Structure 1
Amino acid sequence: MQQIATNARPFQGDPHNSIALTVLAEVRSLYLDRKPQEALMAAGTLVLGREPCKSYSGWGVLTPDGPEEDQVTNGRIVVSRISQEHGILSFENGGLDRALPLCVGQNVRIWPNHACIAGAGFNWYFIVDSSSKSPNRVIDIWVRWRGW
Structure 2
Amino acid sequence: MQLPDSAPDALSEMRAANLHLQATIDGLRQALESAAAAADLQITRARSEEAARIADLTATIHQMRDEMEAQQQANDRALQAERAGAQAEIAQLKGSIDALRLTLDGERASAEQARLDQESDHALERQALQQQIQALRERMEEMTREKA
Higher normalized strand content (fraction of residues) = 1
- Report the TM-score, using the length of structure 1 for normalisation: 0.12
- Report the TM-score, using the length of structure 2 for normalisation: 0.12
Higher relative contact order (CA 8 A, sep 6+): 1
Higher normalized helix content (fraction of residues) = 2
Over alpha carbons, which structure has the higher Rg? 2
